[in-house]
């Protein structure tokens, strides 16, 4: 029987994973099936027909044709299209938020929050559609004018991870759309239904508003089409969100063909708690950061550096809070639960393997560290002490709720340790000491793309540019001027004089 959450969104047990444009979803099979499996009980929610090579070709050709029209549409009019998408998502927020919870496994409030993020970035993009500003420069030559303008880049390829199955698409495609681009999305094979539902909601809103196709979708049963996508010269920008391992490969492939890539990869985020910290703020932030989404956020708090003078107190409070969370682990669609399952059995294996490695490397499991004996992919959130920052397991992003707690004695030492990992996504300090807060934010402070004071590492707002340094990939998405990644810059110099002076005073007299 079709799950009621699917029915609410008009989804059936066999779905097409291919939006070909013109209101047409593929009806052919033959490229394999992608199974959407509930992480809560292991049941298959629905099967999705993957995209064929021929269908992929149709999508790219239609997207190229769509771009010719869309790039001539005034940007504020493009903003109107995205306003309609945001409105439609508002209408379907409850149902889509439930589907995200059901299929990905995050809690219902977090699923709803993810859809809210889509709405928020939609509204941001509407405003942006009137603010795609270029600069005007003073020419060194008389009778000349010089300025820069931003043109759409063309087709934007979006490859997304399972843990933010809908918001990452909206961050990219809504901003790309107001920039004048057409986007093609390849979602994670673990969350195809959330992608299909988002695509249907937005494409129906666009059609009802009289807008042409700007969003396309394909699903890949393996990685063959994804690889073709990454190598496809007709797609000038690939925006990739996922693991550092796959992202490194994608970045290399795109660079080889001189394309552009925007990489949003793994994190290994830390919080520093200094002796002046307000623990009434710090404890809930650490627990949400480490346990929220069952540790499956790129910004999840994975390392905690606590000043030696308050170490025992902080560890004690955390262990008490973790016991409270343990009583609220369960069905993620039940809004009363704080933590759902991991997304897959592979993730459970990864968690157990990391716990075993932590023990082997000298760590002590303070709480958790086991899978829960019930159907689905449930584990207990773990706190590990006794390891140093350079331990192999601490240096690695394990996509699960494991928090490594370590002591420090000086702020310089804490900052050095927090920076001493390959990744550079998110970081925080809890302090009431202004000097310490400012030290943390200096050029010799945190080396991450995100550095916070008195809030945790996760839960970024859409208004800022999101992304990180080092092996996190260097890309920036969402707010601020991240839109520039989706456009090409053109510098224009216009001579309105009667002479032909050369720059740098060069003489070339004929």
* Site for ligand NAD, rule CB under 6 A: 159-164, 186, 188-189, 223, 226-227, 230, 241-243, 246, 249-250, 264-267, 298, 397, 399, 425, 472
Residue 119 or 246: the one with the smaller Cβ distance to ligand NAD is 246
Strands (E), 99-258: 136-137, 144-152, 155-159, 182-186, 215-217, 237-241
CB of 247 to ligand NAD, least distance (A): 7
Minimum gap (Å) between residue 343 Cβ and ligand NAD: 8
- Based on the residue annotation, tell me whether 264 is a catalytic residue of this protein: yes
Minimum gap (Å) between residue 422 Cβ and ligand NAD: 12
Least Å distance between CB 230 and ligand NAD? Answer: 5
CB of 352 to ligand NAD, least distance (A): 17
Give exposure, 314-340, as e/b (b: 16+ Cβ within 10 Å): bbebbeebbeebbeebbbbbeeebbbb
* List 264, 366, 471, 477, catalytic entry: 264
Q: SS in 3 state form for 264-316?
A: ECCCCEEEEECCCCCHHHHHHHHHHHHHHHHHCCCCCEEEEEEECCCHHHHHH
Q: Which is nearer to ligand NAD, 152 or 267 (CB)?
A: 267
Apex CA 338: angle with CA 98 and CA 94, to 5°? 20
Give the nearer residue to ligand NAD in terms of CB position, either 330 or 424.
424
Q: Select 95 or 262, whichever has its Cβ closest to ligand NAD.
A: 262
Report in angstroms how near the CB of residue 298 gets to ligand NAD at its nearest. 3
168 and 160 Cβ atoms separated by less than 8 Å: yes
Which residue has the closest beta carbon to ligand NAD? 242
Query: Cβ of residue 296: shortest distance to ligand NAD, in angstroms?
Result: 7
Long-range contacts at 318-325 (CB < 8 A, ≥ 24 apart): 318/283, 318/286, 318/287, 318/383, 318/403, 318/405, 319/366, 319/367, 319/383, 321/283, 321/284, 321/287, 322/287, 322/291, 322/367, 322/368, 322/381, 322/383, 323/367, 325/287, 325/291, 325/381
**Residue reference for tokens 């995200």:** 100
Tokens 């033959």 correspond to: 30
How near is the Cβ of 243 to ligand NAD at its closest, in Å?
Answer: 3
Chain centroid offset of residue 215 CA: 18
Closer to ligand NAD by CB, 68 or 233: give it.
Answer: 233
CB nearer to ligand NAD: pick between 298 and 342: 298
With contact defined as beta carbons under 8 Å apart, do 152 and 71 qualify? yes
Distance CA 65, CA 266 (A): 35
Nearer to ligand NAD, 160 or 419 (CB): 160
Buried b (16+ CB within 10 A) or exposed e, 170-209: bbbbbbbbbbbbbbbbbbbbbbbbbbbbbbbbbbebbeee
Closer to ligand NAD by CB, 367 or 472: give it: 472
State the catalytic residues. 264
């Amino acid at each position: 029987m079709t799950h009621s959450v699917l029915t609410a969104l008009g989804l059936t047990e066999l779905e097409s994973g291919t939006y070909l444009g013109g209101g047409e979803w593929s009806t052919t099979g033959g490229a394999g099936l992608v199974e959407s499996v509930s992480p809560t009980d292991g049941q298959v929610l629905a099967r999705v027909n993957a995209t064929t090579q021929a269908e992929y070709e149709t999508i790219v050709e239609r997207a190229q044709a769509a771009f010719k029209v869309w790039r001539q549409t005034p940007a504020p009019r493009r903003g109107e299209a995205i306003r309609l998408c945001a409105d439609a998502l508002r209408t379907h927020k409850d149902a889509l938020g439930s589907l995200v919870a059901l299929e990905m496994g995050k809690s219902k409030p977090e699923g709803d929050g993810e859809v809210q993020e889509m709405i928020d970035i939609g509204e941001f993009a509407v405003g942006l559609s009137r603010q795609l500003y270029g600069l005007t420069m003073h020419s060194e030559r008389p009778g000349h004018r010089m300025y820069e303008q931003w043109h759409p880049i063309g087709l934007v390829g979006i490859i997304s991870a399972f843990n933010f199955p809908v918001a990452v698409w909206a961050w990219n495609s809504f901003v790309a759309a107001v920039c004048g681009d057409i986007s093609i999305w390849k979602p994670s094979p673990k969350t195809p239904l959330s992608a299909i539902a988002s695509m249907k909601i937005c494409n129906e809103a666009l059609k009802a508003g009289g807008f042409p196709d700007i969003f396309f979708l394909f699903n890949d049963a393996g990685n063959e089409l994804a690889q073709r996508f990454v190598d496809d010269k007709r797609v000038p920008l690939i925006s990739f969100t996922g693991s550092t391992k796959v992202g490194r490969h994608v970045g290399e492939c795109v660079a080889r063909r001189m394309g552009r890539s925007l990489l949003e990869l793994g994190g290994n985020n830390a919080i520093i708690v200094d002796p002046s910290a307000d623990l009434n703020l710090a404890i809930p932030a650490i627990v949400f950061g480490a346990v929220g989404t069952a540790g499956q956020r790129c910004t999840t708090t994975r390392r905690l550096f606590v000043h030696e003078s308050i170490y025992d107190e902080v560890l004690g409070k955390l262990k008490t809070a973790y016991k409270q969370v343990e009583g609220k682990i369960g069905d993620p669609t039940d809004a009363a639960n704080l933590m759902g399952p991991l997304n897959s059995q592979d993730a459970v294996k990864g968690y157990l393997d990391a716990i075993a490695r932590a023990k082997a490397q000298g760590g002590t499991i303070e709480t958790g560290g086991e899978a829960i004996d019930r159907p689905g992919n449930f584990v207990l959130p773990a706190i590990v002490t006794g390891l140093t920052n350079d331990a192999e397991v601490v240096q690695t992003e394990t996509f699960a709720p494991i928090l490594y707690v370590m002591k420090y004695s000086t702020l310089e030492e804490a900052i050095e340790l927090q920076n001493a990992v390959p990744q550079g996504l998110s970081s925080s300090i809890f302090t009431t000491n202004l000097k310490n807060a400012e030290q943390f934010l200096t050029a010799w402070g945190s080396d991450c793309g995100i550095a916070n004071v008195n809030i945790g590492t996760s839960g970024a707002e859409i208004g800022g540019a999101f992304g990180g340094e080092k092996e996190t990939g260097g890309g920036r998405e969402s707010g601020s001027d991240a839109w520039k990644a989706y456009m090409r810059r053109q510098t224009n110099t216009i001579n309105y004089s009667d002479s032909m002076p050369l720059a740098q005073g060069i003489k070339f007299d004929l």
